[in-house]
Amino acid sequence: MRHPGPRIPARVLPAALAVVLTATALAACRQDVAPPTGADAVCGDPVAADDVTLEGLAEADVLLVESSLGLTDTVVYDDGRVAVVGRTAGEWSRGVAGMQGGDGEAAVGRDGDRSGGLTTTVTAVGTVPPSGGHASRREQPAAGTVVVPALAWMPHPESPLLLVGRLPDCALDDLARLAADLRDVVERTNGDLGSPMVTDMVSTRLDYRGDAAVNVSAYALGFDDDLRREQREGRAFMRAMQDVVVANLPDVVEVEPEAFERYPSPSADCEAITDPEEVAAILAIDRDADDADLDPLAARPVPAGIVPCG
């Protein structure tokens, strides 16, 4: 004699069905809704940068550090102030205009990102650091990365000055949300965001130090074909965090740094320059002169809260 299984009360079926449908809908939303990028990352009115400085900031105030080749490119502080390394104000403004569809640079960076080529993370010299020198600042090459000769790598900032500005509060909220999403992916992938089969590209590192702290690196950000869905998802969150900073920082001013990192040659150790007279000497160099005693292109300004050559 066949015994039927336990009978489910009729009133339970609608509730169970609703749970299944809700879970399915949430899964679909997670797969279909991409984080905002480009001009869509703008969240509010821009903040004027006229009176913004980096005074009073220390390492404890750093919220987000974006870097490539072991070199700091962008620093966001917990009060919304931002410092950008190696760019001029004119270049930055043209890039923001391009991102937002105005008369500016192309909205797609050299490595395929949507940040308008503004952050040196995605526009730096397309190599990984050479072996020898800068050992404490070197990122390990991802699997499949081709290491090019040491002479091909130099920092070459566009300016000895720092660009500073301030993000609106909504941008800080967006960074916190995206960082939480990114950390979830990093935990599920054990930090493996894939290694695209391309050469001569940089690795982008984001170090977010807020409540949803996450520190992750991705090689050739923007070249995401043939990667697993979770890896592409993590990279999308990284690009979205970049775009939140750029899109919400249209107004910047140039300020003099209090320290430099100097790289005399690709194989030499980094030299920390913090003495005010030595810093002033670098700032006084005519960058267009052919007979300058010190090549200013080999010196990178260091934002507040970042240890030179650290």
* Residue 157, number of CB atoms within 10 A of its CB: 24
pLDDT in tens, 186-220: 999 999 999 999 988 889 999 999 999 999 999 99
pLDDT on residue 264: 75
| Nearest in space to 280 (alpha carbons), one of 302, 259, 309 | 259
Range 232-256 average pLDDT: 96
pLDDT in tens, 7-32: 555 554 455 545 444 444 444 444 44
How far is Cα 35 from Cα 55, in angstroms, rounded to an integer?
Answer: 33
How far is Cα 284 from Cα 294, in angstroms, rounded to an integer?
Answer: 11
Range 171-180 average pLDDT: 98
pLDDT in tens, 54-107: 999 999 999 999 998 888 999 999 999 999 998 999 999 888 888 877 554 433
pLDDT on residue 38: 87
Tokens 């279909």 belong to which residue? 32
For residue 256, pLDDT over 50 is answered with yes
pLDDT in tens, 118-149: 443 332 323 223 222 222 333 333 333 333 33
pLDDT in tens, 28-51: 444 445 788 888 999 999 999 999
Question: At residue 231, what are phi and psi to the nearest 5 degrees?
Answer: -65, -45
Long-range (24+ apart) CB contacts under 8 A made by 45-49 are 45/168, 46/168, 46/248, 46/249, 46/250, 46/251, 47/80, 47/165, 47/166, 47/167, 47/168, 47/251, 48/251, 49/164, 49/165, 49/166, 49/251, 49/252, 49/253
Q: Find out whether 215 and 191 touch, Cβ atoms under 8 Å.
A: no
Residues, the chain: 310
Q: On the CB side of 15, how many CA atoms lie within 13 Å of its CA?
A: 5
- What is the token pair recorded at 2? 């066949």
Helices 229-247 and 89-99: crossing angle, nearest 10°? 120
pTM of the model: 0.76
pLDDT on residue 297: 58
Q: Find out whether 306 and 65 touch, Cβ atoms under 8 Å.
A: yes
List b or e across 33-44, with b for residues whose CB sees 16 or more CB atoms inside 10 angstroms: eebbbbbebbbe
Q: Find out whether 60 and 73 touch, Cβ atoms under 8 Å.
A: no
How far is Cα 51 from Cα 40, in angstroms, rounded to an integer?
Answer: 27
Range 163-170 average pLDDT: 98
Question: How far is residue 19 from each of residues 11, 30, 66, 115, 226, measured CA to CA in Å?
Answer: 14, 17, 40, 39, 34
pLDDT on residue 143: 37
